[in-house]
Chains A and B, each alone.
Chain A
Amino acid sequence: MSQREKDYSLFKRYCEGDDSALTTLVEENRRPLFAYIYNMCGNYSLAEEVFQETWFKVVKKREYYFNKKGSFKGWVSRIARNTFIDMSRKKKALLILDDDSEDSYVFEPEAHEQMPDEAAISNETIKIVQTALQTLPEKQREVFVMRMEKGLTFKEIADIQETSVNTVLARMNYATNKLKEKLEKENLR
């Protein structure tokens, strides 16, 4: 069973009354979804608010999912994207990374323990990568994170951004080139 079919089946089970199916779905999706939202917001507090509201809407609007042909991940991403647009407009949030803000990135140091075979990434490197990401134009950053983090296909991303697959591919190409240049400039390679 593909991931797409698995997500569909879990969400259907939840809608039919199996609460544990939602718990599984949340656990499997919360990291990529939050990382996507955070990278769009560049602000932890706002990202958390958008994240909670997104899940609330997923539950509240659950029956609408079955009218759509797309994947569960794509549907949730679309909800997150619209929620982010609405909330940032209402709050007139600052959408660029504020280097001086303690709120800009919240680390989870224990995550390093999950990668014993890899050298732990330093806080400085994390900051460089995050800053490089935040300097990308929003749509390029969105394509990059959706592809890297959420595993959405370029076609699914094109549907969410309401554009062509070629445009999405061009955005991905620009994003990776710019990131590569920035990381090379910082001697990270």
Chain B
Amino acid sequence: MNAEESESLLLYYYNELPEDKMLEINELVSKNEEYSKFINDLKYIEKMYIKTSETLKIPEVKIPSEARITKKVPITNFMWARNVAVAASILFMATLGLNILLDSDQSMSHVDVYNVMAFVDNLDKEISIKQAGENDVTLEEVSQGVIVYQGFEDERDLRDLWVSNF
């Protein structure tokens, strides 16, 4: 079974497909032994997990009463605050970019990258991260939304580092 088939079966099992597709796969599952085995295996794994999970002792939730006291919170839209943050970050990026342009080697240190990432991350912007063989990142790469880093296992290591550096 290829990846596409197993992914479709996962979506089918969890009822996350459109109705017509659900019916189509339902028919396939009833006819195809491999598909029905996949579904049965999934059911088995789920059953074992749920049984195990049910034995876990769940602690009581202790929310401090002073935090819990309910006073009516105005449910407002904070888009204005977000807009201010966006404007501030654009200003920051422009300043940073200017500094890099004026710099002779036109590159950023890792700390700069963390700062950029922190801003980008805070704004929920999608960034792509790729591993590269170079130590530094160029302004061009930053402007293209490509943050390059080296020497970290994965994105979380980098996140941990910038959290501690920012």
Interface residues in chain A, defined as those with a beta carbon under 8 Å from any beta carbon in chain B: 12, 14-19, 22, 26, 30-31, 34-35, 38, 48, 51-52, 55-56, 59-60, 62-64, 66-67, 85-86, 89, 105-109, 111-112, 114-115, 118, 121, 125-126, 129-130, 133, 144, 147-149, 153-155, 162, 166, 169-170, 172-173, 176, 179-180, 183, 188-189
Contacts and interface: CB of A to CB of B under 8 A. Distances in A.
A122 to B, nearest CB: 10
Given A67-B78, A147-B14, A169-B11, A108 B55 contact: yes
B34 interface: no
Contacts of B41: 176, 180
Interface stretch (B19-27, B65-73, B111-119): B65-73
Contact of A17 (B51, B72, B78): B72
B63 A109 contact: no
Contacts of A34: 56, 58-59
Contacts of A133: 49
Interface centre among A15, A89, A149, A169 (most CB of B within 10 A): A169
Contacts of A126: 51-52, 55
Contacts of B45: 176, 179-180, 183
A189 B44 contact: yes
A125 B52 contact: yes
Contact of A108 (B56, B63, B75): B56
